[in-house]
Amino acid sequence: DIQMTQSPSSLSASVRDRVTITCQASQDISNHLNWYQQKPGKAPKLLIYDASNLETGVPSRFSGSGSGTDFSFTISSLQPEDIATYYCQQYDNLPFTFGPGTKVDIK
């Protein structure tokens, strides 16, 4: 199975700060990497697909980049409603696997 790691596991930042999360795959997954946002008690929501494509309706302050084994996810200006846990997921190889998540909080 492909192992997904994320860094950091949690972070606390101020409103309007730039926040970056990294995700690493244990082997090359091309650009088959998605980012999801999960708010407490809610289902995950797709934000970024294929490493860098913004899902329809998602604010442009969210972005993603990377390919191969190293990826990053950025919130350009953190907003109070962005408080959530963010997960990366690879869908290059079965079984699909998720990262451990990064919990984002407001300082």
Partner 1 sequence: QVHLVQSGAEVKKPGASVKVSCSASGYIFTDYVIQWVRQAPGQRLEWMGWINVGNGNTKYSQKFQGRVTFTRDTSASTAYMEVSSLRSEDTAVYYCARSQNVLTGYSPLDPWGQGTLVTVSS
Footprint on this chain of partner 1 (rule: CB under 8 A): 32, 34, 36, 42-46, 49-50, 55, 87, 89, 91, 94-101
In the complex, least distance from residue 66 CB atom to partner 1, rounded to whole angstroms: 15
In the complex, least distance from residue 101 CB atom to partner 1, rounded to whole angstroms: 6
Distance of CA 103 to the CA centre of its chain: 10
Task: Answer for the pair 35, 87: CB distance below 8 angstroms, yes or no.
Answer: yes
In the complex, least distance from residue 88 CB atom to partner 1, rounded to whole angstroms: 10
Task: Answer for the pair 51, 67: CB distance below 8 angstroms, yes or no.
Answer: yes
In the complex, least distance from residue 87 CB atom to partner 1, rounded to whole angstroms: 6
What are the residues facing 34 on neighbouring strands? 89
Instruction: Pick the closer one to partner 1 by CB: 70 or 100.
Output: 100
Instruction: Pick the closer one to partner 1 by CB: 15 or 105.
Output: 105
Task: Quote the tokens at residue 79.
Answer: 């907003």
Instruction: Pick the closer one to partner 1 by CB: 61 or 103.
Output: 103
* φ and ψ at residue 80, rounded to 5 degrees: -55, -35
Does an H or E element contain 104, and which?
Answer: strand 102-106
Instruction: Pick the closer one to partner 1 by CB: 50 or 70.
Output: 50
